[in-house]
Amino acid sequence: MKEKDHHGSTADAEEEEEEEEDEFECPGGKDELDEDAEPLCTVDTGGAPGSGAFGAPDFFSSAALSNIQQQSSWESESQERTFSWKDPSDPIVVNGDLMTTVQSCGDDELPDTFWLDMCSQIKEGNAKVVNLALNPERNTQYNGTHIWNAIYEENCINFDGDDSEMCFEERVLYRLLSGLHTSTTLSIAKKYYPPSKRKGRDTWEPNPQYFMEKFSGHPEYIRNLHFSYVVLLRALRRASPFLYDYPISSGNILDDEAASMLIKRLLDSHILQSCSSVFSAFDETLMFESATAETGYTLQENFKGVFHNVSSILDCVQCQQCKLHGKMTMLGYGAALKILLTPEELISTSLTRNEIVAFINTIAKMSESMKEVRELAHLYFLESEKFVSELPVPDPKEINTFYGDDPYRHVDRAVAAISELARTERISADRENELIALAFAKDPALLILAKHYYTDLSKFLEHSKNIAGLADVSDEEPDAIVVGSGLAGLAASLKILDRGGRVILIEKEHRVGGNSAKASSGINACCPNESKYDDSLESFKNDTVNSAGSSANLPLIETLVGRSAEAVGFLKERAGVDLSLLAQLGGHSHKRTHRPSNGMAGAEIIYAMQKAVKKFEKDGKIKIMVDTKATKLVQENGSVVGLEYTTEKADDSPESGVLRAPNVILATGGFAADRTDNSFLAKHRPELLSMAATAGDFSTGDGISMATELGAGTVDLEKVQIHPTGWVDPKDPTNPSKVLAAELMRGVGGILVNDSGQRFCNELGTRAYVADMMLKHNSIYAETGVWDKGSNVPTFSLILASSAAEDGKKHVDLYSHKGLLMKLEGIDALASWMNVDASTIQSTLIQYKNDDSNGIDKWGKTSYRGVPTENLNNETFYAGTVTPVLHYCMGGITIDTEGNVLDEKLNVIPGLHAAGEVTGGVHGDNRLGGNSLLECTVYGTLVGEKIPVRTRTKSSAVSAAKDSHTSKAAESSYLREISMEEVSTHNTPEDCWVAIHGEVYDLTLFAEEHPPGAESIYELAGKDGTEAFHAVHNKGLLDDFQEDKIGILKI
């Protein structure tokens, strides 16, 4: 493991400079094996006859390694536990005294250089530079039982509780390995629960209960951790003269000086000068003290051989992150032993730079682990005290009146009944929480039920269905109904909620986010924090007007641009979205597109916004109704006062109802996915019906339809944006739904090339310009300017050089993973992939490099990034096929600058508001890249700020039709039986069911949170994933997925 140095400097596995920072992940299922590992982690014997593992003599052949080599799965009971601890601890220190009388296995004298190869079996893998600050040790859910068993077996430790057969040297090695094991377990306990949108966790959170389960009965494990720390400190003190002036040279002078200063500060620390009593807990000079002639091999050789074999076992770890930390610690141990056992005059020449880095970081790791012991113990006792303190203390008079002589009898009975129902999975986790809360609140109905039915759980369950949760007891009307849960709807909702209002948010899909979650390029703004790129509001306005063309609506554009900085500030400060990077997209004259440093803009924004909104659910201030479609607006006396809806129940039976509120906000998006005969697309742009689209299939213009039925005006419905770059999936080239090739791909330096191998446009031009230049490759369009719906849409190559790919790494990695981008080494490979002559594409790229030198090309391009290197034969290219696609509807409902919906005579329709793609006029003829998320945020917050919020005197929940779709877990108190045939129909990333250990889980929302990535989850969609799950994880992991469990697999 590599982490930030305990004293502040960053250490890398091979070089301290951060040339390449790879974040290791632990893939799941069939993809879990290390790409560089041999099948089943077999051990290479080197082909030498009569040799055991790693070419060692047969005497040192590793039985543990042979076991790993021979087994393809681990079905023992121990595999059901994360770790299997072994007794005894075999302390070297007993009752505080050094065990100077322990038998040493002894040895003959060996050369002074004998210990110099202690670390020789710790392989460096692919030798990539790894920044430990990006790879903290944490819970990867990897089941390492077999690895730990192999490690302990390799050390020949006696597990029968008899200390007498273990010599001093064996105890030393055992305690070091136990210290490593302890430190690893502590790191898992400290970072046990990963960040989760579903669970509302922003960061990794600890599990004090897990810590206590592992260590409460085994204080010797903690002592072994302390022992390991002492060994490391003794080595540090012995190497101090050498390390004090060790030359650090990473290429960054400031970092080098800071690191040297910190090393000196560490070596000058009082602990190395004044803690002699601590250091005496171990004395390496007692090792190998007495001689024995029982074998022809020395004890030193045996000790070193075991250390080598234990080190090599780590190559069998299939979790890359686990392997990283294990190897780092063993390398640190090896360096420490080398320092302690090698003559002092050889220390300065015996340590490699990698060993020194690992040694310092291992000291930091053990130090941090000792601190974690205190922190986790403190958290455990805090939680225990909190549980006790939160138990309700009822009024004595009430107790005597209702409970008789035993005040807690019926509370206890209720909790016992609820617990048993939850344990047998007859109620959901959410329902369990509701009933427990009611029990502790002394709800009379629940306690009367417990009094009479606690012995009959079936009747208790049946009657408890008539008891509502604490948040379902009010009939108070909300201040607004928001239709659509994309960014516009979430922004409006959050503004109302922050002002003390109440909201019903309805969404016809099964999850929130809409098309906003797909946005990838970023959000425009000028000019938060006094931008250093010479941008200005006037420049931003001019770019937007230029893109909007003759249909530009200046008041709407000025509102959009003028509130852009405030909008980005709202997302960053209120929702906590990381928008720290700045990019320049096509059509922009300056860098002003803000995006996250890690992740896609839309996904990050939607995650943060929906999390902020959902925090109001527990107080009943918002009710989120998914699988619910608004069908008609309700109008009384000229004002909109609510809407009619239908909701799809779990059994596919529709349920209709009416919701009432003084304000309705439409945020339903566009209509680009509706290809029906009566669609807006068919009426206004029929020639585009056959063109692929990036919008979700839910984009059917519902809001526009409802509003126009009341007489709302519309504008620019014929203006449908054609985005120039949608990826053509080579595995499914005719699919009408395309993944967007983000504007950022061209912004970082991607170039567009036609099938003749020639560039044909300024890639940084507006979307309309680039799409037009692409479509002009069709002769009919070139002549008429109108697309012929009978023509095939042309395709093009989008090419990125290595520097451009590095600049857009997150996007490149994503698209490559999806199979949409190909990595090609050299100009010949690129030409072959494009099916053009190598000289043609080489000439194109050379001309592009010349244009960069001249500062302009024949299409007027003046900004160049990610230009290919001089040697095109050695350049690494990334290339994919793109095509123009339907992307955005500029037209929609007519609104004013406050988001009020206007009728056909431009009069305000009272009570009706709109924001986002459902509206028209904001973008004119063509939307500028990065302005969609901005429009949603600006107009969503504008509407949310102006909605009247009524004064309330009591805290209660919003009113709504009783709806079981507020959350998936509340759909039913029962888990129904689901056949494998039904599971197989839910086999897409948008609808991902997986059967595991006889139960069915909907992992659609979790997939993107899966630490190793969503793809390994998607591969199991619609299948029984038990085997793949069991290969990596323990069954206990499923306890954290109770809310995702939707049924029992029907046999």
Host H or E run for residue 991: strand 991-996
d(CA 471, CA 94): 59
**Rounded-to-integer distance, Cα 3 and Cα 362, Å:** 9
| Contact present, 479 and 662 (Cβ < 8 Å) | yes
Pairing mode, strands 908-914 and 796-800: unpaired
Q: What is the signed CA dihedral for 684, 689, 692, 697, rounded to 10 degrees?
A: 80
d(CA 42, CA 312): 11
Q: What distance in Å separates the CA atoms of residue 411 and residue 407, rounded to the nearest whole number?
A: 8
Say how many CA atoms lie within 13 Å of 558 toward its Cβ: 5
Query: What tokens were used for 919?
Result: 């509206």
Rounded Cα distance between 522 and 690, Å, is 28
User: How many Å apart are CA 378 and CA 212, to the nearest integer?
Assistant: 11
Residue 457 and residue 994: Cα distance in Å, rounded? 30
Which residue in the list 325, 413, 746, 865 is annotated as catalytic? 746
How, if at all, do strands 593-595 and 581-583 pair? antiparallel
Q: Are 115 and 336 in contact (CB under 8 A)?
A: no
Residues with Cβ within 8 Å of 630's Cβ and at least 6 positions away in sequence, in order, are 483, 506, 508, 643, 644, 645, 668, 702, 703, 706
> Measured between alpha carbons, how far is 74 from 580 in angstroms, rounded to an integer?
45
Q: Which helix (H) or strand (E) holds 444?
A: helix 444-453
Give burial (CB, 10 Å; 0-12/13-18/19+) of 884: buried
- Among residues 723, 767, 965, 986, which one is catalytic? 723
Instruction: List, in order, residues 6 or more apart from 994 with CB less than 8 Å away.
Output: 983, 1000, 1001, 1003, 1017, 1020, 1021, 1022, 1023, 1024, 1025
The runs of H, that is alpha helices, within 617-692 are 680-684
- The packing angle between helices 299-313 and 168-190, to 10°, is 20
Are residues 913 and 640 in contact, defined by beta-carbon separation less than 8 angstroms? no
- Per the CB < 8 A criterion, the answer to whether 324 and 362 are in contact is no
- Residue with structure tokens 């200390």? 163
Do 1023 and 995 meet the contact criterion of CB atoms below 8 Å apart? yes
| Residues 6+ positions from 206 with CB-CB distance below 8 Å | 189, 190, 191, 192, 193, 375, 376, 379
Whether 723 is catalytic is: yes
> Which two tokens mark 385?
């005290």
HSE-CB for 253 with a 13 A CA cutoff: 0
**Contact, 920 vs 891, CB < 8 A?**
yes
In this structure, are residues 701 and 670 in contact, taking their beta carbons and an 8 Å threshold? yes
Nearest to 331 by CA among 302, 303, 311: 311
Region of 757 on the Ramachandran plot (φ > 0 left; ψ -120 to 50 alpha; else beta): left
Per DSSP, helices labelled H in 390-428 are: 396-403, 409-423
- Give me the residue label for tokens 């966790």: 201
CA 44 to chain centre: 36
d(CA 745, CA 799): 9
Beta-sheet pairing, 908-914 with 900-902: antiparallel
- Tell me the H-state helices in 625-778: 680-684, 702-709, 743-747, 767-775
Tokens of 1046: 């939707």
Q: Token pair of 884, please?
A: 């123009």
Active site residues per annotation: 723, 746
